[in-house]
Amino acid sequence: MGFLTSFSPLPLAFCPYFSKAKKGAFLRDKINDFRQIEGSDPNALKIYYRLIENKTEESEINFKRWFHYYVESGIPIMVGIKFEGENIGHAISCVGHGKIHVDLNRSYKIDNFEIYNSADFIHEYIYMDDNRIPFEISEFDKFNGYDKNTLIKYFIVPLYKRIYIDASEAEKVFLNVLKNKYLGISNLKEFGTKFAIRIFLTTSKNYKNGRFIGNGNENVKDLYINLSMPKFVWVCEITTIDLYKKGKALGEIVIDVTATIGDFNELFLIRYPKKFLFKHKNDNIMTMKKKLENIKKIPKEFDILKTNLREIKNV
């Protein structure tokens, strides 16, 4: 079983290799096809390099999580592989991920709460490699069919030109909101102390469609459908471990990717059981706190957004 992006399968004209030249000196024609993905901009490609010589446990965790956020967003990623002991490499594309394996080995600590990142629950990804069969599943760093050890040296993400907040910045915003005593994880204290978060980027159209389908309550549907939204948003779904396994969420934080980060300017929407906040431009923390407390009752659970990726059974 696996989960594929809606862009699959991708043309592989950009995949045969990447330049052996110094950092950043990629052969432009080899990623030209990658730049033609609808809505992306040649100057909006995000390149994430891995710290290899000076790596730390934190840098390794972050690199893999940021990679996963884009895969979970349904965005095809160009991946540069390094072969152990060699100065050459190979480029492939990642078009989805494998099965979910919930493990509770690593968490964020916020007061008395433990927050687990769903990016850590995924160990396998679906790759298109012109040296291998299509849609092959491999572990994050261990690629099938090569006689040398491999690791991902970099990955490149095609983004819409007005996406100003990237995966690393979005993650920081979500954690800052979760820590806030008015707007954060304390709003879910009645549901326990262990929660999972799921982070992804999506379009406003896809977001509204997913929420409309995943909510049976007509009042909630109206809230989502009538929202005036930016073209793209980052979403952080919040749920218990048991509900995560069932595909259900308890809350969510949504941020505007076109906003300036700071003082919660980028916040767009917050939802918890019985609470729903749509932030207006000039709202401050106390205004948002009042709005979050005074909203009408809404259902506790809702479906996680599943429209970024499509599930397939035979991969």
Contact between residue 197 and residue 174 where contact means Cβ atoms under 8 Å apart? yes
What are 217-262's pLDDT values in tens digits? 677 777 787 788 889 999 999 999 999 999 999 999 999 998 888 8
Q: Is pLDDT at 36 greater than 60 in this prediction?
A: no
Average pLDDT (37-48) is 63
Contact between residue 190 and residue 70 where contact means Cβ atoms under 8 Å apart? no
pLDDT tier, 1 (very low <50, low <70, confident <90, very high otherwise): low
Average confidence score pLDDT of the chain: 82
Question: What is the model's pLDDT at position 309?
Answer: 87
How far is Cα 37 from Cα 158, in angstroms, rounded to an integer? 7
Q: Is pLDDT at 308 greater than 60 in this prediction?
A: yes
What are 114-144's pLDDT values in tens digits? 999 999 999 999 999 998 888 999 999 888 8
What are 260-286's pLDDT values in tens digits? 888 788 899 999 988 888 887 778 778
In terms of pLDDT, which residue wins out, 17 or 10?
A: 10
